[in-house]
Amino acid sequence: MSTPSSTDSAEAYATWIAPQASLVVLQPTTLCNLDCSYCYLPFRKKRLEMSVEVTQAVADSLAEQQPGHVTEVCWHGGEPLAIGPEKLAALMAPFEELRRAGRVRHSLQTNATLINEPWCDLFIGYDVAVGVSIDGPADLNAERVDWAGRPAFDRIVTGIGKLVERQIRFSLIAVVGEGIGRAADLLDFLTGLGPTSIGLNIEELEGVNTSRSQPAPERARAFWEAVFAWSAQHPGVEVRELDRLAHYLRTIRGGERESWEAHRYDPLPTVAVNGDVVLLSPELAGIRDEYYGDFLAGNVVTEPLSEILAAAHRLPYVSEFLDGLAACRETCAFFDFCRGAQAGNRYFENGSFDSTETNYCRASKQELVRALAGITNTTGISSSTRSMEEAT
Ligand code: SF4
């Protein structure tokens, strides 16, 4: 763990991290009605709820951002629907002027089990982009149970059915555990639910979920190869990870490398129920560490987000993460595409933020690229861009 000077850190921060947030994660409640075995949330059994004072403070901060800047406000619990539609509407009210002006848009990540007509009304009324977590057909979804241990699968599918009935567009995110050997089954099932896009998260070590086994790189590569093969047969279905890689290749191929490289990491403020803010990774909220403390960058009720972000380079975990990004750029053949992944994974897997490789980046970035390029050695993306371009 390094200790750079404040000036060095400020310069590095400005180089790597965007000055304004494009995504703010809000945790309206700590409570979740499910008890998925891989969940990383430490307080998911407790009902602590956000107040309008907190969301008013966030809205005031976003109003200070440049007028042309659009911020996604992502409601992500706990289970955000556990708070009830009236309470969430009250929490959203302070953002209405910004939303109507096109400066804020809402998204929400849910397990779908509580979706009913009032929720559908809210999604439509506030133009919420809904993301649903489901891990596949019933047997692949077996780790998702309620607090009594009952499978949640039927309730998730019923909730999704209500979205379909009301013609509310939604995306799906699946945590890929046992499904890593069944890519086609998984994608057939998810596509049948009618989403606008599918995200595939190979299971990670995060938060309090630190005891799970991780897939070997070869299994991850075989999974991505199967996803590519499936995708070639289903060209109308958007798979998020493949789209990101295709976007990278199109950008480079189009001679826009400069714009790709100019892209900076979002500071990704996550606001807890009481207004406390952590940066870079929502998974750090509510975590305590002997060295890093509680990862808090400030509290939006007592200081605006702009001031919190302006001082962020002084936080040891933030400045270490910048060192980690620089180390990725120096050492990793996949940096060109990856741009240095996830602070949370570095911490939870490696115990520090200035480390580089994680199981997450190996499985979800490196093996994704190798699968597309048909690479079976470690020559990496820089030397393989041409073959990837040919493959797409
Ligand atoms: S693949 Fe891993 S080591 Fe390489 S740039 Fe991304 S995060 Fe860093």
CA of 372 to the centre of ligand 1 (A): 17
Q: Do 147 and 33 form a contact (C-beta atoms < 8 A)?
A: yes
| Residue 342 CB–ligand 1 contact under 6 Å | no
Q: Cα of 362 to ligand 1 centre, how many Å? A: 8
Q: Whose CA is nearest to atom 6 of ligand 1?
A: 340
With a 6 Å cutoff on the Cβ, whether 345 touches ligand 1 is no
pLDDT at 218 over 80: yes
Best residue among 328, 342, 366, 382 to mutate for probing ligand 1, ranked by most atoms within 8 Å of CB: 328
Check residues 118 and 257 and name the one with the higher pLDDT. Answer: 118
Gap from CA of 48 to ligand 1 centroid (Å): 36
Q: What residue type is 111 in one-letter code?
A: N
Q: Is the CB of 332 under 6 A from ligand 1?
A: yes
Average pLDDT over residues 120-136: 97
Q: How far is the CA of 320 from the centre of ligand 1 (A)?
A: 15
CB 292 near ligand 1, within 6 Å: no
Q: Does 135 score more than 70 pLDDT?
A: yes
Q: Are 98 and 62 in contact (CB under 8 A)?
A: yes
> What pLDDT shows up at residue 391?
45
State the pLDDT at residue 213. Answer: 66
Q: How far is the CA of 361 from the centre of ligand 1 (A)?
A: 6
Q: Which of 94, 369, 129 is nearest to 244 (CA)?
A: 369
CA distance 115 to 125: 15
Strands 129-133 and 270-271, how do they pair?
unpaired
Closest CA relative to residue 27, chosen from 13, 41, 38, 9: 41
Provide the angle, in degrees to the nearest 10, between the axes of the packed helices 217-233 and 183-192: 50
| DSSP class per residue in 29-87 | BS--SB--TT---TTTTS--B--HHHHHHHHHHHHTS-TT--EEEEE-SS-GGGG-HHH
In contact, 295 and 42? CB cutoff 8 Å: no
Query: Using 50, 70 and 90 to split pLDDT, how confident is the model at 41?
Result: low
Is 335 a pocket residue for ligand 1 (Cβ < 6 Å)?
Answer: yes
Residue range 234-282, pLDDT digits in tens:
999 999 999 999 999 999 989 888 888 888 999 999 999 999 999 999 9
Instruction: Please choose from 224, 280, 332, 378 the residue to mutate so as to test ligand 1's pocket, defined by most ligand atoms within 8 A of CB.
Output: 332
| Ligand 1 pocket check for 357: Cβ under 6 Å | yes
Residue 40's pLDDT is what? 64
Q: How far apart are CA 376 and CA 374, in angstroms?
A: 6
CA–CA separation, 171 and 240 (whole Å) = 10
Break the chain into its structural domains and give their ranges.
Answer: 21-262
381 lines ligand 1 (CB under 6 A): no
C-beta of 111 in contact with ligand 1 (< 6 A)? no
Closest CA to 200 of 365, 29, 10, 33: 365
Rounded CA gap, 203 and 355, in Å? 20
Topology adopted by domain 21-262: TIM Barrel (3.20.20)
Residue range 137-163, pLDDT digits in tens: 999 888 888 877 888 899 999 999 999
CA 239 to ligand 1 center in whole angstroms: 21
Whether 141 and 153 have beta carbons less than 8 Å apart is answered as: yes
Whether residue 336 contacts residue 311, with contact meaning beta carbons closer than 8 Å, is answered with no
- Terminal-residue alpha carbon distance, the chain: 40
